[in-house]
Amino acid sequence: MKHVDRSVLQRVIAVMNGKGGVGKTSITANLAGLYAAAGYRVLVLDCDPQGNLGVDLGYLGEGRSDQGAELLRAITEGAAPVPLTGVRENLDVLPGGDLLNDLAAELARTGRGGSDSAGLALAASLAQVAEDYDLIFIDSPPGGDVLQRLILTASKWVIVPTRSDDASRIGLRDVARRYLEARTDNPGLALLGVVLFGVNISATRITGQAREALARDLNGVVPVLDSTVRYVEAAATDARNRGQLLHELERSVAAQPRWYELRRNSEGKKATALAASAGSLAGDYQSLAKEVLQLIVTAETELADELAEQLQGTKS
């Protein structure tokens, strides 16, 4: 089996659920953007053939996506990926797209489809550039055995977004199955936590019930994060239409004229105000970003302490 230096992959974070529409792309884009804005060097991989990350980050509308060509090349050739730069300051991206549908066939064509090293192809590729970044996020597709195996084998942490309804929570079972399979090749893989997405903040009873149900689903082994992301359609729609992240839209809202200052343009159309709810949704992502980073730092500190104790034990 091909050796991969996992010491450089300790901050690779997969955002994954076996069901679509539970906030994977929104969480990936907004967390990555917030960390980049804070000065961290961030790489994001869009491993979804739908390529929707490009909508959230705005590069799809600018015609800058390669539809997954570079990501496909890097995985199938075992080469260092060359990301799209300048998406944001400190933020680089490997775009996704429909070319990723050819991944299984390309691995088979190159003779790697059935080999033990095939599952390590993404890990081996990422390891060549990982030291250039402080954090690496992977937006995962809801399906696709090959892609999900590659992602989990390359990652250190997994964040699982889910909605509160029973149907959305079914996707957790699929993640759990794939997670256990991936630990054969990647024993250091760990579940960072589950994030409730699209919740009604005012419905505290329903949210509480969803937390209890998730705890039962997970047997209390995986934490349900304190941070949640509320359902605010107007702000989410404005952000995607403008190719902005929520903290960026929040600034745009603050800078726009007051409702009574809006004027009609030369064609008689009145300017449309941006959603004032952007601030509350941006706050949710900021709280989540803080909690996720704190969990990672705490885990790293505990691991360092354990290693120090082991080293001390060998000396005594």
Question: How confident is the model over 50-67, as pLDDT tens digits?
Answer: 999 999 999 988 889 999
One-letter amino acid for residue 259 of the chain: W
Q: Would residue 243 be called left, alpha or beta, if left means φ above 0 and alpha means ψ between -120 and 50 degrees?
A: left
Res 266: pLDDT: 46
Res 75: pLDDT: 94
Res 2: pLDDT: 61
What domains sit in the chain, N to C, each tagged with a CATH number?
6-260+270-307 (3.40.50.300)
pTM: 0.89
CA distance readout (Å), 91 to 40, 42, 116, 166, 211 = 8, 5, 32, 35, 33
Strand stretches in the chain, DSSP E = 12-15, 42-46, 84-88, 91-94, 135-139, 157-162, 190-199, 224-230
Residue 140 contacts residue 48 (beta carbons within 8 Å): yes
Res 203: pLDDT: 60
Residue 196 contacts residue 164 (beta carbons within 8 Å): yes
Res 1: pLDDT: 44
Res 306: pLDDT: 79
Residues in the chain where the model's pLDDT stays below 70: 1-2, 110-118, 202-207, 210, 215, 217-221, 258-272, 314-316
**Per-residue model confidence as pLDDT tens digits over 10-38:** 999 999 988 888 999 999 999 999 999 99
Half-sphere exposure of 214 (CA within 13 A, CB side): 26
Alpha carbons 135 and 114: distance in angstroms, whole number: 30
